[in-house]
A = this chain, B = another copy of it.
Amino acid sequence: MINAEGSLLSQENSILIGKKPPMNYVLACLTAFHEGAEEVVIKARGRPISTAVDVAEMVRKKFMPSAMVSEITIGTEEVQLKEGGVKRTSSIMIRMRKKK
């Protein structure tokens, strides 16, 4: 999907949450759904995990009651450090879809 918010939205409608204001990500979700996506996946690593939950809650409670959370998974990702070694970071994946 090609999108005005291209940098926030990758293939398979996944949105990686970072340090921008939560509303940027909410709008990216809403845009994807309004362009016909059946499903949007919100992902975050580390501190922005709480923002990912905020975004999912704002989408379904405030802006799009026809959207629901269909799956939540947590995990650990290993990031290779330039200076050698590995850093472990927690991650979250929140899958949202339109209610049938």
Q: Which residues of A contact B (CB under 8 A)?
A: 46-50, 53-54, 56-57, 61, 69, 72-76, 90-92, 94
B72 touching A74, Cβ below 8 Å: yes
For the complex, give the distance between the alpha carbons of A1 and B50 in Å: 29
Q: Collect the chain B residues with CB atoms within 8 Å of residue A69's CB.
A: 74
Q: Collect the chain B residues with CB atoms within 8 Å of residue A90's CB.
A: 50, 53-54, 57
One of B53, B61, B75 near A92 (C-beta < 8 A): B53
Across the interface, name the chain B residue whose C-beta is closest to A89. B54
Q: Collect the chain B residues with CB atoms within 8 Å of residue A61's CB.
A: 76
CB distance from A33 to the nearest CB of B (A): 18
24 chain-A/chain-B pairs, Cβ below 8 angstroms: A46-B50, A47-B50, A48-B50, A49-B49, A49-B50, A49-B53, A50-B50, A50-B90, A53-B74, A53-B90, A53-B91, A53-B92, A54-B90, A56-B74, A57-B74, A57-B75, A57-B76, A57-B90, A61-B76, A69-B74, A72-B72, A72-B73, A72-B74, A74-B94
